């Protein structure tokens, strides 16, 4: 999906909601566990319930890889079930030497039909560039995250600023706003003003709203640009809104609530 197509989808739906399919098999409703593929049954129900209100789905590959070959099969069936109507993200946090990253890019962009993959930039340009060489595909590079360990490296002094600032400035030169996004945690809301100054045209994938406590209002006011420029990921607060037989209905209600609030911001 190109940037133009993504922006048009956001405007059309008045939504920049990304639903995170962190489908932990130990947390899905008990009644689904008798299904031949419980996680796939859960994912399909969540997708059917929420696709009207979101523009993107993010599949956290860890929850599928942990299940072995069967989990990888579920991942593939899930992304194909979503189809081309939504922006699909493989949250895989890959990033290795160039020939290895090239294989990772082929895995997610050619063998699988994802639009984007999350990438760790620690190993430098040759570990990221292979993800930028596929037309209509995106690298979503880790920038400033919400976890406690962000202080170990991301917030250390480097050059004239902080390390994450150097990452944003450097990576933005490797790609363009047409194929590069950054992961910026929602609990870092006050940092968005400076981050937007450093990367005025890029999209951000913003996790941390919902169960992690990030404020949608704060993020929307501080991080948006003329094209909206943000995808706000919500996982647990939507997909695990209920653990009962009404899980899909409650997920739909939660997604609709986020979309309704987003409509007010995106239409400004």
Tokens 């390390």, located at residue: 163
Report pLDDT digits (tens) over 94-147.
999 989 999 999 999 999 999 999 999 999 999 999 999 999 999 999 999 988
CA distances from 163 to 155, 195, 223 (A): 6, 12, 20
Pairing of strands 161-162, 157-158: antiparallel
Active site residue 44: no
Domain count, the chain: 1
Going by pLDDT thresholds of 50, 70 and 90, the confidence category of residue 189 is confident
CA 224 to chain CA centroid, Å, is: 16
Q: Which of the residues 13, 27, 77, 93 is marked catalytic? A: 93
Beta carbons within 8 Å of 107's beta carbon, 6+ residues apart = none
Token output for 113: 């039909």
Percent of the chain with pLDDT over 70: 98
What's the CATH number where 251 sits?
A: 3.20.20.70
Q: What are phi and psi of 193, to 5 degrees?
A: -60, -45
The pTM for the full model equals 0.96
User: Residues 139-158: what's their mean pLDDT?
Assistant: 91
Going by pLDDT thresholds of 50, 70 and 90, the confidence category of residue 223 is very high
Burial of 177 (0-12, 13-18, 19+ CB in 10 A): middle
Q: Which domain holds residue 225?
A: 3-266
């Amino acid at each position: 999906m190109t940037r133009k197509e993504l922006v048009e989808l956001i405007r059309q739906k008045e939504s920049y909601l990304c639903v995170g399919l962190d489908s932990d098999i130990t947390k899905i409703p008990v009644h689904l566990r008798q299904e031949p593929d419980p996680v796939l049954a859960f994912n399909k129900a969540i997708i059917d319930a929420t696709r009207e209100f979101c523009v993107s789905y993010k599949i956290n590959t860890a929850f599928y890889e942990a299940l072995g070959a069967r989990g990888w099969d579920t991942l593939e069936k899930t992304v194909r079930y979503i189809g081309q109507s939504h922006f699909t993200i493989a949250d895989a946090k890959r990033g290795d030497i160039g020939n290895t990253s090239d294989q990772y890019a082929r895995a997610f962009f050619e063998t699988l039909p994802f639009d984007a993959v999350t990438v760790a930039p620690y190993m430098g340009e040759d570990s990221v560039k292979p993800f930028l060489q596929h037309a209509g595909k995106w690298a979503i590079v880790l920038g400033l995250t919400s976890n406690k360990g962000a202080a170990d490296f991301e917030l250390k002094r480097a050059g004239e600023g902080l390390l994450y600032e150097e990452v944003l400035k450097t990576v933005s030169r490797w790609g363009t706003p047409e194929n590069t996004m950054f992961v910026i945690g929602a609990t870092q809301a006050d940092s968005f003003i400076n981050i937007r100054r450093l990367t005025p045209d890029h999209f951000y994938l913003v996790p941390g709203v919902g169960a992690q406590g990030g404020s949608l209002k704060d993020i929307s006011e501080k991080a948006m640009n003329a094209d909206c420029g943000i995808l706000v990921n919500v996982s647990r607060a939507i997909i695990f809104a209920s653990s009962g037989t009404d899980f899909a209905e409650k997920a739909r209600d939660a997604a609709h609530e986020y979309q309704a609030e987003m409509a007010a911001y995106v239409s400004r």
